[in-house]
């Protein structure tokens, strides 16, 4: 047989943090008032005893004084106990009930005077009622911090005398009872309004304090963000200027070498290779800035699909092996035959950022990338032998613009965005990122992703050859861009791999070109923002309308605004964002021209 659970004496009332702070303030204010009033209570009790000493029995008077004295002593004790507490909000509900009970008991002790020391003479009865009115006024004011205490003290004081007056046969007593009910009711209503005003004033005061604290915290966060962004802009401007400066020297060297009667071919190849390496680093910085901008703008799609891990790791190895070797590090990537549920581009960016971070903070040893299956999850782990991360910085490394301090010679400095992008992308795709580290020994980052059914690898996604990136196309590629450098670079690259290319700066120029030469178009590649507030979507639509058929088309832009994604998706065209690596650009073009309009 199950025993019934004994109910709590006072059900716990839940308060919000603001309500708890208000309640603590009100209880302290009431404790101070109650203690002050109760310390003065002997004078009130002495006045009543003096006035009634000759008209009521002595024993009754002493009994009432003892009852009333105990009530006030209890009030003093309770008030002092609460005032000795620190300003904590715990147990406020219990204290509120205790103070309400205390107010009712003290009111009853004074109201009991109508039962214990009720005089026979009518004038003394009026005098006793006058004492009760005075006590009620002082009691309700001292209890005004809590409305329930005002009500408890009021009914405790007036129920006994009003009941005594109403139960007599005297019209005078009954009239007095009615009058006292009306008078005390008006007083109670007035004091309840006063109590509400006090409560509202207290609430407004704490809300203002809370608002000020919130504003101060926001200001502190804003100042910290501004300082971090200032440091970031300084680092970004430095890291962007350096490769641009180096590229200028490389290009000048190539020009001088090419102008010689017999240029050194090996030297030209070596300088070109160095320039490509510098450009690759610059592209990586721009990719990081673009990823951060797209995350901030919320334009990265959160869709996931089945992604084969082996080709992804192969790409990572191909991308970072040379860079690791330049620092004297060994990059080992263990193959994995499983597939996972993730975003292919986002997953590659996450793992790539982790490997890049490991290379940046490692001066010796190497980096290991491997996978471990745990149930229906795959743990992609990146180990390094770098300087390690202090325990107090483990939570901060995923913050924007945060960089672990290092004094190691030759160490690289990034923008402080790599791990922030990792964390935000992992959260976006529902993945878990963990880190453990020992200072001086190295770190391990673990990305946990759900395992998917294996996919058959697409053979067309292998290494790109000249024939693969330039399939036979019956027609011209039309490039539309109002930037001369971008237009020349893209057209030259496409022409070198075998495409026939037409270029235009606007839709009107493209239409004039079509009217004069009447070429057959295979596809259109247009920048989103064109001159005169025109868009690439408008240019493509105008060209398709003119030739009377829909063409395969690609929109390219460096803008990260979310409205662009919506506009391009509504038009039904694929969208790519600059900067695009040349091989990636050629792959996108190959896919574009393979489509049927």
For the entire predicted model, the pTM comes to 0.44
Tens digits of per-residue pLDDT, 8-49? 444 445 556 667 777 777 778 778 878 888 888 888 888 888
Give the residues of the chain that fall short of pLDDT 70.
1-18, 86-90, 225, 228-243, 245, 277, 280-282, 284-302, 400-417, 453-473, 560-562, 596-597
Determine contact, residues 449/431, Cβ cutoff 8 Å.
Answer: yes
> Which residue, among 72, 71, 48, has the nearest Cα to 60 in the 3D structure?
48
pLDDT at 10: 40
Q: Three-class SS string for 18-84?
A: HHHHHHHHHHHHHHHHHHHHHHCHHHHHHHHHHHHCCCCCHHHHHHHHHHHHHHHHHHHHHHHHHHH
pLDDT at 118: 87
CA gap 452, 308 in Å, rounded: 9
Phi and psi based region of residue 572 (left: phi greater than 0; alpha: psi -120 to 50; beta: remaining): left
pLDDT at 452: 85
CA gap 87, 80 in Å, rounded: 14
pLDDT at 87: 59
pLDDT at 237: 61
pLDDT at 471: 52
């Amino acid at each position: 047989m199950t025993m019934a659970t004994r109910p709590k004496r006072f059900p716990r009332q839940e308060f919000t943090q603001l309500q708890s702070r208000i309640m603590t303030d009100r209880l302290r204010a009431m404790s101070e008032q109650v203690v002050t009033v109760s310390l003065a209570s002997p004078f009130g009790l002495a006045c009543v005893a003096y006035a009634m000493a000759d008209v009521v029995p002595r024993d009754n008077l002493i009994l009432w004084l003892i009852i009333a004295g105990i009530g006030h002593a209890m009030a003093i004790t309770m008030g002092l106990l609460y005032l000795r507490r620190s300003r904590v909000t715990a147990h406020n509900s219990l204290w509120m009930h205790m103070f309400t009970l205390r107010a009712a008991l003290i009111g009853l002790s004074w109201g009991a005077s109508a039962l214990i020391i009720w005089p026979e003479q009518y004038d003394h009865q009026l005098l006793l009622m006058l004492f009760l009115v005075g006590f009620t006024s002082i009691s309700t004011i001292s209890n005004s911090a809590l409305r329930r205490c005002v009500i408890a003290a009021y009914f405790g004081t007036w129920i006994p005398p009003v009941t005594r007056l109403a139960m007599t046969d005297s019209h005078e007593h009954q009239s007095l009872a009615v009058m006292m009910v009306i008078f005390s009711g008006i007083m109670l209503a007035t004091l309840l309004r006063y109590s509400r005003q006090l409560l509202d004033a207290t609430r407004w005061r704490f809300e203002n304090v809370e608002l000020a604290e919130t504003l101060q915290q926001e200001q502190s966060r804003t100042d910290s963000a501004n300082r971090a962004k200032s440091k970031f802009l300084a680092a970004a401007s430095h890291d962007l200027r350096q490769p641009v400066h180096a590229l200028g020297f490389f290009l000048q060297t190539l020009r001088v070498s090419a102008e010689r009667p017999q240029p050194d071919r090996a030297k030209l190849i070596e300088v070109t290779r160095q320039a490509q390496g510098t450009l690759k680093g610059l592209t990586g910085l721009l990719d990081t800035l673009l990823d951060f901008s797209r995350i901030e703008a919320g334009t990265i799609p959160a869709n996931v699909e089945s992604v084969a891990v082996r080709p992804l790791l192969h790409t990572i190895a191909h991308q970072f092996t040379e860079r690791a070797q330049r620092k004297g590090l060994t990059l080992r990537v263990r193959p994995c035959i499983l597939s996972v549920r993730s975003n292919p581009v986002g997953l590659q960016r996450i793992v790539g950022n982790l490997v890049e971070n490991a290379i940046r903070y490692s001066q010796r040893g190497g980096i290991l990338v491997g996978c471990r299956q745990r149930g229906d999850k795959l743990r992609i782990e990146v180990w390094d032998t770098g300087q390690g991360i202090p325990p107090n910085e483990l939570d901060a490394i995923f913050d924007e613009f945060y960089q672990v301090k290092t004094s190691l010679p030759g160490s690289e400095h990034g923008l402080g965005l790599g791990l922030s992008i990792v964390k935000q992308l992992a959260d976006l795709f529902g993945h878990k990122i963990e880190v453990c580290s020992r200072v001086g020994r190295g770190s391990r980052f673990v990305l946990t992703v759900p395992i998917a059914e294996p996919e058959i690898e697409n053979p067309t996604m292998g290494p790109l050859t000249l024939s693969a990136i330039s399939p036979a196309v019956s027609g011209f590629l039309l490039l539309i861009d109002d930037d001369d450098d971008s237009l020349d670079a893209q057209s030259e690259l496409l022409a070198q791999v075998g495409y026939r290319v037409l270029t235009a700066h606007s839709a009107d120029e493209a239409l004039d070109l079509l009217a004069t030469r009447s070429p057959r178009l295979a596809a259109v590649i247009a920048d989103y923002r064109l001159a005169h507030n025109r868009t690439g979507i408008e240019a493509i639509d105008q060209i398709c309308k003119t030739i009377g058929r829909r063409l395969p088309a690609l929109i390219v832009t460096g803008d990260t605004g979310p409205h662009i994604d919506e506009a391009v998706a509504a038009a039904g065209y694929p969208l790519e964002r600059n900067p695009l690596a040349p091989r990636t650009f050629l792959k996108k073009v190959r896919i574009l021209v393979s489509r049927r309009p």
